[in-house]
Amino acid sequence: LKYFDELKSKGLKPDVVCYNCLIEAAARSRDFKAMDSFLTESIKQFGIVKGSESGYIFAMLTHAKTGNLHEVERLFQQLVMNLKSGQVWSRAYAAVLTGYAVQGDLQACYGVIQEMERSGVRPVSFSSSILQPARFCASAHLVTSTNACS
């Protein structure tokens, strides 16, 4: 990370894969400012395209696991607005589910599941452990628009 600016000033032209690696490295070192900066640079240069999802999802999951739900929701909305294919990745939904699960908000998890079903997105195995409690609560009618599963 500390050599990136120097290499860039010497003519390095990073591609999507390079940005994905930088995003992951910054996230692992808990440098959220650098992670968000690299993500922003990547989106400005390449847009949100196939190949950029790895870094994007890594940033979302990092924020989700640290309880920064506001940032997860912001990134998800940015993804929805800018994704060229129009189809949101199941891994993006899994990151949102992770954020809500970390907060213990099964009501919101259930809402994400409903949105996935409306959008025709099938959950990845990564999110199955998060989906099970929310599905149970929904089937037991413990989650409604006015109460949470407890």
Q: What is the DSSP letter of 48?
A: S
Rounded to two decimals, the pTM is 0.71
Helix 69-82 crosses helix 90-103 at what angle (to 10 degrees)?
160
Please check the confidence at residue 150 and state whether its pLDDT lies above 50.
no
Residues 46-71, mean pLDDT to the nearest whole number: 82
Render pLDDT for 68-85 as a digit per residue (tens, 0 to 9): 889 999 988 888 777 766
Please check the confidence at residue 52 and state whether its pLDDT lies above 80.
no
Instruction: Identify the pLDDT of residue 84.
Output: 63
Reported as a pLDDT band with limits 50, 70 and 90, residue 90 is: confident
Distance CA 89, CA 59 (A): 14
Distance CA 78, CA 71 (A): 10
Percent of the chain with pLDDT over 90: 3
Residues 42-52, mean pLDDT to the nearest whole number: 77
Percent of the chain with pLDDT over 70: 75
Which pair of structure tokens corresponds to residue 87?
Answer: 């189809």
